[in-house]
Amino acid sequence: MTQLTLEKANKIINAATQKARSLNMAPLTVVVLDASGHLKALQREDGATVIRQQIATAKAWGAVNMGISSRSLAAVAEHRPDFMNALIGLADGKIMPVPGGVLIRDKGNVIIGSVGISGDSSEQDERCAIAGIEAAGFVAGV
pLDDT of 64-82, one tens digit each?
999 999 999 999 999 999 9
Mean pLDDT over the full length of the chain: 96
Q: How many helices (H) and strands (E) does the chain have?
A: 5, 5
Does the reported pTM lie above 0.85?
A: yes
Q: Which CATH number does the domain housing residue 117 bear?
A: 3.30.450.150
Within a domain: 103: yes
Q: What is the pLDDT of residue 2?
A: 85
Report the pLDDT averaged over residues 16-35. 98
Q: What angle do CA 101, 106, 112 make, to 5 degrees?
A: 55
Q: What is the pLDDT of residue 142?
A: 81
Return d(Cα 9, Cα 93) in angstroms, integer: 25
Q: Please check the confidence at residue 1 and state whether its pLDDT lies above 80.
A: no
User: Does residue 106 come out as left (phi exceeding 0), alpha (psi in the -120 to 50 range) or beta?
Assistant: beta
Q: What is the pLDDT of residue 19?
A: 98
Return d(Cα 134, Cα 11) in angstroms, integer: 10
Within a domain: 15: yes
Return d(Cα 56, Cα 132) in angstroms, integer: 14
Q: What is the pLDDT of residue 83?
A: 95
Structural domains in the chain (count): 1
